[in-house]
């Protein structure tokens, strides 16, 4: 999916065009990014690696059953406006 932003003048509404390739799934992040752009918001993503507990995987390390490091992450999403609103 790609988002093209049209020109924006002070007295006109913003035009946003979305192109989705047929048959391709649109991810939740892409949908959220689209909504943020359309609504004129700003988003900041922060990703933190998730550490499995020893009880959850039977050991104290953060590797999966096949010996690979865990790729799970916790994402913190901050959405803001300019100017700030309450």
pTM of this structure: 0.51
φ and ψ at residue 34, rounded to 5 degrees: -60, -50
Bigger pLDDT: 71 or 74? 74
Q: Would you say residue 23 has pLDDT above 80?
A: no
29 and 48 housed in the same domain: no
50 and 69 housed in the same domain: yes
What is the pLDDT at residue 7?
47
Please give the tally of structural domains in the chain. Answer: 2
CA distances (Å), origin 32, targets 26, 29, 69: 10, 5, 28
pLDDT digit string (tens) for 30-62? 899 999 999 999 999 999 998 876 555 555 554
Other Cβ atoms within 10 Å of 65 Cβ, number: 7
Bigger pLDDT: 28 or 70? 28
65 and 29 housed in the same domain: no
46 and 82 housed in the same domain: yes
Alpha carbons 34 and 37: distance in angstroms, whole number? 5
């Amino acid at each position: 999916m790609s988002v093209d932003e049209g020109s924006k003048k002070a007295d006109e509404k913003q035009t946003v065009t979305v192109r989705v390739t047929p048959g391709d799934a649109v991810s939740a992040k892409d949908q959220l990014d689209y909504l943020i752009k359309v609504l004129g918001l700003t988003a900041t993503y922060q990703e933190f690696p998730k550490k499995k507990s020893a009880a959850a995987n039977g050991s104290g390390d953060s590797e999966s059953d096949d010996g690979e490091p865990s790729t799970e992450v916790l994402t913190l999403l901050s959405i803001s406006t300019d100017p700030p609103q309450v």
